[in-house]
Every structure is written in structure tokens, then in C-alpha cells.
Amino acid sequence: MDALHERTAVELRDLLAAGELTPTEATEHFLDRIERLNPAVGAFATVTPERARKRAAELQETRGAGSGEGTPPPSGSLWGLPTGDKDLWNRAGVPTGFGSRAFAGLPPAEESDEIVQVLDDAGIVSLGKTAAPELGFPAYTEPVGAAPARTPWDLGRGAGGSSGGAAAAVAAGMLPFAPGSDGGGSIRIPAAACGVVGLKPTRGLLPAGSGVDSLGGLVVNGPIARTVADTALLLEAMLPRRAGGGVAHPYTLRAPSYAAGAYLAAAQRAELPEGVAGRRAARIGVTTSSAWDGFYDIAVSPEAHAGLDAGVRALAGAGHEVEQTVLAEAPEYAPAFRTLWMGGASAVPIDDPETLGKLEPLTQWLIRSGREVPARRLAEAVRTLTGFERSLVAQVSAYDAVVTPALALTPRPIGWYDAEDPERNFEQQCQYTPFTSMLNVAGLPAITVPTHWTEPTAEAPAGLPMGVQIIGRPGGELTLLALAAQIEAALPRPRTFPV
């Protein structure tokens, strides 16, 4: 049998369900991987081995309470599978660091956040907190006072952010999959930098982390995994079902959702759903334009073009109709997004000047700038971005999907971002990740999938991962999973782990 970390999450699920693997065995294997690899990779901010062992034992006891050998495991689609909580989420009894020295030493929360509860109900075993940058704002995970999260493909380069620890843990085989959150690309950016799959769902799809409750509807939760099917498996678990099978939504505003198992089936069968032309062929637009064009100097590197070309060839080889397209210019986007981003930062519950002074320059700049934004200007920015949303949804909906590079540049070296000049830092982030935030604004689903590895170097013996982002229509996750699975089948990733 392959080592457990070499198995997919779907395979591990099946082994657990069949009784051929216990939660304790899975937990111990991945805790061992974390102990050995985390000092170099920096994927975990906090590891909770004793809590994990206790949880695994409790799950085993519930199975043992059945009627005998062969008894199916208790309810929970992820029963016994290890994963981690992003260090921006509260888990009762475990400190939350929020990627910041300003929160060091604070007592643990008494209650878990909703997304943590949802995954617990699905049967997971949390091994700890995956690393995040300060308050989740940067697109890189290099918090002051803590080890940076590194892409396992080159330990001199960052894992991206803000779900950088989650993606690094998955890429290094420290977790089979991991949940993340995405307010401007924070699932897709690190997934691309680490050579794994990351899915940002449609706004309103997930009950916990739907985006409906965040300013401008930007922040949604979603899955990160090594394979498209594993990504779909975790997505399914993030969609808690009522007794009748419908998703248990707390809001009236929601995205279209499908029957339990439909997302995993789309990924495993790699077949397009009904409604897509011919069901086996799609019309796909390809673009390197973004909403930041004209505001910052955006240049797509040769490596990013190579990743895009590989993904497009794979889709064309699968029989899809592929054509070049250009997004409509949107000069109003950049200033409005900056205003909204700063407006969101203004609500960070830190009013004490001494505590505020402990934050990093970028975070301080965002918070202070946001608190100086007049209410009218913020309202105008929201209205402007709502207009942009209508425009982008219409442009994307002219196709079954639209493909862009996942990132404009290769994974960035540790320390590349300007630590002292916040304005320059923000510009660098947009230059690295110009294709992601516009989809948070529009609420559209998008998935990143690796397609290409650069030439090997001494620092990156297997090369660096590059990939594509596939953008769907509202509620188009089935199409995205099927297309990503077709790319994955045509362009398999290296079989070996980078560390």
C-alpha cells in the first residue's frame, strides 16, 4: 500500500469507511509528517496533537459502538479524515493567532466558528491551525514574528496567501486537503503557488462563509486539495444538508446548488453538466486581461503564459471550442476596490493605539486609511463595484467558462514584498495576482489547477508550479470541476512530493 499521504482524500475516505484504516492511524501518520516537515515549510501556526488524538479516539469509539465488524462509520462524509483550521477561525479551546503578534497571548475562544462546526459535523479530525498572514489581508503568508509559509517546490519562495499554510500543508503531504477562505484570491493564489487545486465557490453557495455577510460580498470559504476530486469531496462537506437533502442556508440570498454527490461526480466523471453545449463540448474564452489593467503595470511572465498555453491546449484537446477574448476596460474598478478593501479593514476591532502599533505597516495603513474614508465614498465604491459585477457576469456568461493565468508571475521569493511601503506592497500584490479579486467582486466561482512546471533549478529540482484559473457562470461549479478534471487528466502533476 502507498504511504497514507500519497493516497487521495477520496481513497482515504474509502479506507476509513471500510474499516481498513482507523482515524487514529490516519491522525498519527499526518502528525508525523507535520512534525518532520513543518519546521521547513511553515504550514502550521499551531499544532494540536493531543486534541487530535483525543478526537480520533472518540470517533473510533463511536464506530465501535455499532453492532459488529463491518458496521458502517457514523454519519459524516469526512469521518476520520485529518485536516486543519485556518488561523483566522476560532476553535473552542485553541488560541487563534490571526497571523499577528498583536494577538499573541490572548485566551482561546469559548465557541468555534460556524465553518469549524460544519467540518466537525462532517467528521474531520483537526490537527491544528494552518498559517495565515496578518488578519488575512496580504496575498502572501510571511507574518512578522512567525515563520513564513513556503511553497514546498522551492523553500526560498512563498506559499502565497492568505490561505498559504493550508495550501503548503496539502502540497507537502501534511494534510490530504484543507479549507480556506478567499476575499481577493486567498484560496486560489496559494493553491497556484503550491501546485494544488483551489476552488472559490459562487457567492451564496456555502452557508458558512457565503460572502453574503461580508462587506461587498467578497469573502467566501472553499476547499484546497491535491486533486480535483478531493476538492469536490471537501466542497460537498462544506454544504451541510437538511433532512430533505437541501442545503441548510441561513440567508434568503443563495446561489444555485445541486444534490449531494453531484460535485464529486462531476469531478470524477469529468463530464460537463446538462446545459453546456453538447454536454461534452464547451465554449471557452481565454484572456490575459484583468480589472487592474491601466491602473498598475501588469505584465504576464513567460512562465505564466506557458501555464496558460498548457491548460488551453488540454481543453482544446478535449474537444472544447476555445477562443481569445478581452475583458472590457474598467478604469473605475481599481480605485473602488481599494476603497472597499480599506473600508473592510476599518472594521478590525482594534482601537487601542498600542495594539494598533503592533500591527505590520501594510495592515496599519489599510485600517487607518479605511477609517478616514467618508461613508459617501464607501457607498459610491460599493455602487461602482455592483455595476462592475453586472458587467463581468455578463461577459463571462457569454461563454461556458473563461480561462486566465492563475498568477501573473512565478511564486515570489520570501521577502520580495516591500515591508515598509504599504502603497508599493499593495501594488506588488496586484501585479502578482491581477486575475483573482475581480471574481470576488463579481461573486463568480473560479478554480485554479496546475498545468505546467518550470525548468528544474538547484532551488526547485522539480520546477515551479504554474497554472490556470477557470471562471464559471454563477452557480457553475459543476462545469468548473469537470473542466479542471479534464485538464488534470491530460496534464498529470509530478508523482513525487516536493519535500
Q: Which residues are catalytic?
A: 86, 162, 186
CA-CA-CA-CA torsion sign (432, 84, 341, 134): negative
Return the DSSP state at 447: E
Q: Which residue has the cell 513556503?
A: 150
- Angle in degrees, 0-180, between the axes of helices 9-17 and 228-237, rounded to the nearest 10: 60
Cell of 274: 446538462
* Cross-strand partners of 91: 94
Nearest in space to 143 (alpha carbons), one of 180, 106, 105, 97: 97
Cell of 464: 515551479
Instruction: Give the other-Cβ count within 10 Å of 65's Cβ.
Output: 9
Using DSSP, state whether 484 is helix, strand or coil: helix
> 454-461, long-range: CB within 8 Å, 24+ apart, which pairs?
454/303, 454/306, 454/410, 457/154, 459/154, 459/155, 459/156, 460/153, 460/154, 460/157
- Angle in degrees, 0-180, between the axes of helices 228-237 and 477-490, rounded to the nearest 10: 150
Q: Which residue has the cell 501585479?
A: 431
Using DSSP, state whether 292 is helix, strand or coil: coil
Q: In what order do the strands lie in the sheet with 44-47?
A: 44-47, 125-130, 82-86
Q: How many alpha carbons lie under 13 Å from residue 317 in its C-beta half-sphere?
A: 12
